[in-house]
């Protein structure tokens, strides 16, 4: 199957001059990540990145206290 011009040999988006939609498998992964991030915001009030950063800080504080 010939891929349209904006996609590299492995389906990864490169410069998307044609404005083509990314492949479905890419869109599904992005949608899952968005839903997971939205769930974390609703649950804790923080984004997933903020939760990870807070966990790393608390872990480093625990290690420093030992």
Residue 11 lies in a domain: no
pTM over 0.75: no
The domain of 36 spans: 24-65
Mean pLDDT of 8-28: 68
Residue 10 lies in a domain: no
Residue 50 lies in a domain: yes
Confidence bin at 12 (pLDDT 50/70/90): low
Residue 45 lies in a domain: yes
Q: Are 12 and 3 in contact (CB under 8 A)?
A: no
Mean pLDDT of 14-35: 74
Mean pLDDT of 18-46: 77
The candidate with the shortest Cα–Cα distance to 54, out of 42, 40, 66, is 40
List 7's β-bridge partners, or say none: 13
pLDDT for residue 17: 55
CA triple 40-41-44, angle to 5 deg:
75
Confidence bin at 28 (pLDDT 50/70/90): confident
């Amino acid at each position: 199957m010939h891929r349209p011009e904006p996609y590299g040999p492995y389906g990864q988006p490169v410069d998307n001059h044609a404005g083509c939609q990314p492949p479905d498998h890419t869109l599904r992964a992005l949608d899952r990540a968005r839903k997971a991030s939205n769930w974390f915001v609703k649950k804790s009030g923080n984004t997933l990145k903020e939760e990870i950063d807070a966990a790393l800080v608390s872990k480093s504080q625990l290690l420093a206290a030992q």
